[in-house]
Chain A
Amino acid sequence: MTVDLRKDFVNYAKSLNAASEDKNIRTAISRAVTSYRNTVTETLERFPHTPELAEEVQEIKRQSMANLDNLLETAMASVERNKGKAFYAKDHQAALDIALGIIGKGKTVVKGKSMLGEELHLREYLEDNGNEVWETDLGEFILQLRKERPMHILSPSIHVPREQVAEVFTKFFGKVVPPDIAEEVKVVKEFLREKYFTADIGISGANVVAADTGAMVIIENEGNVRLATGAPPVHIVMVGVEKLVPTFQEAMKVAEVTWRYAQYGVPGYVNIVSGPSKTGDIEKVTTYGAHGPKEFYVIFVDNGRNEMAHEEKFSQALHCLRCGGCMYECPVFQVTAGHFGHTYMGGIGAIWTAFVSGGMEKAAPLVYSCLRCGRCVERCPMSINVPAMIGELRERVIYGKLEG
């Protein structure tokens, strides 16, 4: 069999070239890079224990990935003990089927930002199956209206300036929304507020999962995740198995390192959810769905992650905290943003594309547009050796090892 990648390279080069000429991307990323570097320097000065903590987290991650099967079992049992329901999805389709099985048709769904959701094309799938789905993260909401994909894992709409936001909002809300950021934030707040309290289901991801307690740790700044996971009667967590760590204490360490390198400094909110809302205030009789959701589901998604965990040369890629630091340091990403990516972006994204989201053929052009300059490794709190993995993937592409 022959796989001809030549056209893909040509098309990909065109999209990179077009992106590199896009003034919005240039300006937005330049601003973001400066602010990222400044914030991180400043917060590392304020919290000087962080690099050492990051090293500890590397070890936590290493052991967790070596023990993935056990952790998963423990975590699922913990969720069930907390009166939640735990599922394991082997692949992409299984994850979607399980979610749809819980949700059904004709429902309103509010959703927090999640790269896994992007990987699964979750919103589109639920919509195609007769549901109304709203992205509640402001950036994701903008992209939902613009029918675009994220250009950065943390700031998905990094490439859209306020004028263009005003334009799309004016059209959507059917009233003039001025290109004023505060105004723009306000209209979305008013609109989504109503959705949170009428929605049937809230969906979120999680940044870390503690297996011992079944605690889902979700870091955010906007407060949308609080509302989306607290107001509707059902909360579904969809999370990649690589987010598992053994204990609650360790989960806190991972969380702190994540937000510090993700430019949160100190995040506005850290949500910890372990089960449905409950009360025992009347006669000590436990009743579910007190103020928050009555039903709590966790879908642990594999979709290639386990295979990655077993590949000596690639398991380290699962340590990624999705802090986004590497992308800011990547000279290719700096001028092309998410165009250097499929679902996942930048050099680490190319690795994830190969194993999890897209496959080797999709990954090949990405893998060859990496400079292997290595600055991402300097930045990465997990010291993930992306250039070495890129080299390994190139070898596989050249010698036709396109499947696992």
Chain B
Amino acid sequence: MTVETKMPMVLDVISENIIKHGSPLALKGSEVSSWAKELDLPAKGEVLFYTGGEYQMLPFIDSLVKTITHLDQGSKVFSMMMGARNILNKTGFSPEKMYASVLAKDKDRYNSVCFKAAKVLQELGYEFCYSGKEELYSGALLYELGYLQDMEDYVKRVVEVIKKSGAKTIVCLSPHAAEVFKFVYPKMVEGFDFEIRTYVDLVWERRDKLAKLQSAESVVIHDSCRLARELGIHQELRDILVSIGADVKEAPMSREWTSCCGGPIKILFPELSHVIGERRVTELKESGSSHILTSCPYCLSALEAGRIKGDSAVVEDLIEFLYRGVKA
């Protein structure tokens, strides 16, 4: 027997946003792809550069969570939720209103990660295409949160966009996208035989061409769970950093034993997620370095939030770190 389950509203919002707008936070394609304006990337090619809009949406997640947690715990919970749900059903969640409070500097930072990634790859001699404002989110959260039946329909649309590019290889910036493309899509879409690669993987292959650091900076790697355990990529990160002359320190728990950043439960249990992020930052600093590098949008955002006020730790994505070499 099946029943109708009423789940916390944040799940409704996110899943419906993905299904209706191709983005967990209903961001517009034009906004998500704005980083690529000056790069003039082709729409077709052998290798598809895939962002999934994930880095771009990072600065908005917190406001969404804040707004919704507030709703869930407010006194007029139900009427407000009904109101919000109606808005959602009729017009989609209005990102403009919800996200008005997001700081411009955060928006700029996360929006530019994709730009930087593309630049680094170009510098290494890679050529690739990009779907621009048509690009759709991979649906990883549908998979993660249990909306698998909805995902079966959704992925068809994603695949259509991917196919338009004519690419044979998809390069994912986010390990979550790589995970679903690699392990979930083939089960849902017949003949989904693209070669799935990660950004890290591509950089690793041509790491000798990377610009060397001016002076040996010490860094510590936060291995993303997906990258280290599901995709088995952890040595590659170290190789890349060593090859540019960084002094790589190791945290007590790393590689396949890495501690999760807390990100995955952020939307439902934000406070707890935060505590876990804080603990991971502390653990990473035990390595002797406070310069934390990761290679996953959610880790980036969760660890950034896990820095306690006034903490001297620096949290960066590998992309941001490598880009500095390109610029120099």
Binds A, one of B104-112, B129-137, B254-262: B254-262
Taken residue by residue from 45 to 71, chain B's Cβ proximity to chain A (1 for < 8 Å, 0 otherwise) reads as 000000000000000000000000000
CB distance from B237 to the nearest CB of A (A): 18
Given contacts A332-B272, A391-B146, A398-B146, 20 further A-B contacts (CB under 8 A): A2-B3, A3-B3, A5-B7, A9-B268, A10-B73, A17-B272, A331-B259, A331-B279, A336-B272, A369-B268, A370-B265, A371-B260, A374-B229, A375-B229, A395-B148, A398-B5, A398-B147, A401-B2, A402-B3, A403-B1
A4 within 8 A of B: yes
Which of B4, B6, B256 interacts with A378 by CB under 8 Å? B256
CB distance from B140 to the nearest CB of A (A): 11
Which secondary structure dominates where chain B touches chain A?
A: helix
**B225–A16 CB distance below 8 A:** no
CB distance from A34 to the nearest CB of B (A): 10
CB distance from A396 to the nearest CB of B (A): 8
A13 within 8 A of B: yes
B275 within 8 A of A: yes
14 contacts between A and B (CB under 8 A): A9-B72, A10-B8, A13-B268, A13-B271, A20-B272, A329-B257, A369-B269, A369-B272, A371-B262, A373-B259, A375-B260, A397-B7, A398-B5, A402-B5
Q: How far is the CA of A370 from the CA of B273 in the complex (A)?
A: 11
B102 within 8 A of A: no
B145 within 8 A of A: yes
Q: How far is the CA of A399 from the CA of B276 in the complex (A)?
A: 30
A6 within 8 A of B: yes
Cβ-closest chain B residue relative to A368: B268
Q: How far is the CA of A152 from the CA of B9 in the complex (A)?
A: 32
A400 within 8 A of B: yes
**B272–A399 CB distance below 8 A:** no
**A3–B5 CB distance below 8 A:** yes
Which of B9, B149, B258, B259 has the most A CB atoms < 10 Å from its CB? B259
Chain B residues, CB < 8 A from A4: 5-6
Q: How far is the CA of A331 from the CA of B273 in the complex (A)?
A: 10
Taken residue by residue from 1 to 24, chain A's Cβ proximity to chain B (1 for < 8 Å, 0 otherwise) reads as 111111001100100110010000
Chain B residues, CB < 8 A from A2: 3-6
Chain B residues, CB < 8 A from A399: 2, 146, 149
**B5–A17 CB distance below 8 A:** no
Q: How far is the CA of A364 from the CA of B148 in the complex (A)?
A: 16
**B146–A394 CB distance below 8 A:** yes
Number of interface residues of B (CB under 8 A): 39
CB distance from B257 to the nearest CB of A (A): 6
**B264–A371 CB distance below 8 A:** yes
8 Å CB interface, B261-291 against A: 262, 264-265, 268-269, 271-272, 275-276, 279-280
8 Å CB interface, A356-404 against B: 364, 368-375, 377-378, 391, 393-403
B143 within 8 A of A: yes
A335 within 8 A of B: yes
**B6–A335 CB distance below 8 A:** no
Given the known interface contacts A336-B272, A369-B272, A394-B146, the answer about A331 and B262 at a Cβ–Cβ threshold of 8 Å is yes
CB distance from B157 to the nearest CB of A (A): 20
Which 10 residue pairs spanning A and B have beta carbons closest together? Answer: A394-B146, A373-B260, A400-B2, A4-B6, A398-B146, A373-B225, A1-B3, A400-B3, A395-B146, A371-B264
